């Protein structure tokens, strides 16, 4: 759809503006009636009125977290699909979400962990552990690290951790009650400090992948050719894999496992900007952020005054749209 670099560049500008608009809308719309003027005043001339408190302490963290988590999921999904050379890959396929969930549930069941802060470190540790396990297992053996082995080892580890998690939850109903909402994924009621802890890692990882996106293009022509051209494919995979884990791990640490964003956003983006990762990655960041912001705003309205987990809402909004695109364009 966007064929020249000029239109793609303008697309980034328009997309960024859209994100800022969505973030502002996220400050304004919700159960408590507020206006755009309230939101402006709350940010630049705050009083201690109820409305201003809600906007600053409840909705602002939500908007920021939704935007960053969405961006992380979109970019890491695009990277995963590229390094496994499987368009069905997503952060969850390399065991990241499963590892994070497992560590959190272990923490709740055996260590009686309760604060969101400790959930965060546990899930980050779980995500990293799972990925390292997948990476080591798939590089062992005679063929070395092939995309197929990475994918298969990833789905095996995912299966393993998921089943452990389910086992613990089946045996322990109290823990189920406590973590059910976390396991559904949500950007609400998360303190801003969680995001600040993760932010430095997110920014470094994003910068690395944006500036080295060209190497992913080389990878997509196939390992043999890439090696022939003098590329160290294993090293490229490891670098990008690590960055993708940092991004997806931060996302799950801050917001819990949110599925589906990481798998559909890269597809939608590829049908928009083509196959060049220098464009796919930044656009995936914008697309992921937009989807999560819209889903988060929508989740406040479906069951008012109750709220839906945002992971549920991303599916409800994203699925019809995605099916429409998948039917129209097959050249993904």
Partner 1 sequence: MKIFNHLEFIRRPIYATILVFLVVITVMILSAGSGEFPLSPLNVVSALFGYGDGFNQTILIDFRLPRIVLALFVGMSLAVSGAILQGITKNPLASPDLIGVTAGASFAVVLFLTLFSDENNSLTVSIQWLPLFAFLGATITALVVFLLSWKNGIAPFRLLLIGIAVAAFMQAGTTIWILLGPIYQASQATIWTTGSIYGANWSQVSVLIPWAILLIAISLLLRRQMNILELGDDIATGVGSRVQRNRVLLLLVSTGLTGIAVAFAGGIGFVGLLAPHIARRIVGPKFQSMVLFSAGIGALLVLIADWIGRVAFAPIEVPAGVWTAAVGAPYFIFLLITQRKKGGA
Q: Are 272 and 1 in contact (CB under 8 A)?
A: yes
Q: Are 209 and 75 in contact (CB under 8 A)?
A: yes
Per CB under 8 A, does 298 bind partner 1?
no
Residue with Cβ nearer partner 1 (14 or 148): 148
- Which letter does DSSP use for residue 54 in this model? I
Following DSSP, what letter does each residue of 121-181 receive, concatenated?
HHHHHHHHHHHHHHHHHHHSSTT-S-HHHHHHHHHHHHHHHHHHHHHHHHH-HHHHHHHHH
57: three-class secondary structure by DSSP: helix
Restricting to residues 167-196, name those near partner 1 by CB under 8 A: 167, 169-171, 173, 176-177, 180-181, 184
Size of the site for partner 1 (CB under 8 A): 56
Residue with Cβ nearer partner 1 (9 or 320): 320
Per CB under 8 A, does 323 bind partner 1?
yes
In the bound complex, what is the minimum distance in angstroms from residue 123's beta carbon to partner 1?
19
- Which letter does DSSP use for residue 59 in this model? I
Residue with Cβ nearer partner 1 (34 or 92): 92
Per CB under 8 A, does 166 bind partner 1?
yes
Restricting to residues 265-284, name those near partner 1 by CB under 8 A: 267
Euclidean distance between the first and final Cα of the chain, in Å? 13
Residue with Cβ nearer partner 1 (132 or 184): 184
In the bound complex, what is the minimum distance in angstroms from residue 176's beta carbon to partner 1?
6
The site map against partner 1 for 100-139 (x = CB under 8 A) is -------------------------------------xx-
Please tell me whether the peptide bond between 305 and the residue prior to it is cis, using omega within 30 degrees of 0.
yes
Per CB under 8 A, does 93 bind partner 1?
yes
Per CB under 8 A, does 234 bind partner 1?
no
Residue with Cβ nearer partner 1 (67 or 98): 98
* Binding residue for partner 1, selected from 26, 101, 128, 151, defined by CB under 8 A: 151
Per CB under 8 A, does 142 bind partner 1?
yes
**Number of neighbours of residue 39 by Cβ within 10 angstroms:** 22
Query: What is d(CA 149, CA 144) in angstroms, rounded to the nearest whole number?
Result: 9
The H-assigned helical ranges of the chain are 5-28, 36-44, 50-53, 60-83, 96-110, 116-139, 147-171, 173-184, 192-211, 213-219, 223-228, 233-255, 261-273, 277-299, 310-328
In the bound complex, what is the minimum distance in angstroms from residue 332's beta carbon to partner 1?
7
* Binding residue for partner 1, selected from 24, 43, 53, 86, defined by CB under 8 A: 86
Kindly indicate which of the ranges 43-51, 202-210, 255-263, 268-276 contains the residues binding partner 1, using the contact rule CB under 8 A: 255-263
In the bound complex, what is the minimum distance in angstroms from residue 88's beta carbon to partner 1?
5
Q: Are 227 and 144 in contact (CB under 8 A)?
A: no
Query: What is d(CA 61, CA 42) in angstroms, rounded to the nearest whole number?
Result: 13
Please report where in the chains the tokens 């049908």 appear, as a residue: 271
Per CB under 8 A, does 88 bind partner 1?
yes
Query: What is d(CA 72, CA 221) in angstroms, rounded to the nearest whole number?
Result: 25
Residue with Cβ nearer partner 1 (34 or 138): 138
Residue with Cβ nearer partner 1 (86 or 118): 86
Which residues contact partner 1 by CB under 8 A? 86-89, 93, 137-138, 140-143, 148-149, 151-153, 155-157, 159-160, 162-164, 166-167, 169-171, 173, 176-177, 180-181, 184, 259-260, 263-264, 267, 303, 308-309, 311-313, 315-316, 318-319, 322-323, 326-327, 330, 332
């Amino acid at each position: 759809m966007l064929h020249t670099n000029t239109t793609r560049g303008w697309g980034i500008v328009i997309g960024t503006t859209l994100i800022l608009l969505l973030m502002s809308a996220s400050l304004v719309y919700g159960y408590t009636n507020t206006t755009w003027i309230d939101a402006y005043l709350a940010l630049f001339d705050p009083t201690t009125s109820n409305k201003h408190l809600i906007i600053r302490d409840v909705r602002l963290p939500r908007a920021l977290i939704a935007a960053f988590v969405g961006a992380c999921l979109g970019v890491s999904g695009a990277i995963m699909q590229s390094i496994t050379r499987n368009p069905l890959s997503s952060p969850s396929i390399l065991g990241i979400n499963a590892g994070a969930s497992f560590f959190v549930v272990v923490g709740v069941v055996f260590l009686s962990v309760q604060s969101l802060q400790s959930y965060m470190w546990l899930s980050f540790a779980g995500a990293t552990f799972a990925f390292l396990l997948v990476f080591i297992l798939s590089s062992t053996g005679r063929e070395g690290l092939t995309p197929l082995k990475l994918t298969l080892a990833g789905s095996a580890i995912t299966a393993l951790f998921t089943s452990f998690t389910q086992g613990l939850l089946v045996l322990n109903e109290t823990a189920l009650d406590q973590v059910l909402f976390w396991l559904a994924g949500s950007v609400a009621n998360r303190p801003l400090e969680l995001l600040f802890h993760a932010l430095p890692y997110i920014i470094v990882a994003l910068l690395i992948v944006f500036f080295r996106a060209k190497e992913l293009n080389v990878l997509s022509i196939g390992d043999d050719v890439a090696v022939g051209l003098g590329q160290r494919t294993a090293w490229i995979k490891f670098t990008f894999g690590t960055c993708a884990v940092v991004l997806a791990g931060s996302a799950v640490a801050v917001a819990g496992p949110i599925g589906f964003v990481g798998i559909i956003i890269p597809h939608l983006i590829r049908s928009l900007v083509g196959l060049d990762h220098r464009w796919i990655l930044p656009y995936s960041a914008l697309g992921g952020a937009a989807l999560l912001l819209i889903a988060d705003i929508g989740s406040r309205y479906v069951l008012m005054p109750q709220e839906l987990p945002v992971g549920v809402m991303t599916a409800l909004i994203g699925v019809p749209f995605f099916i429409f695109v998948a039917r129209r364009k097959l050249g993904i």
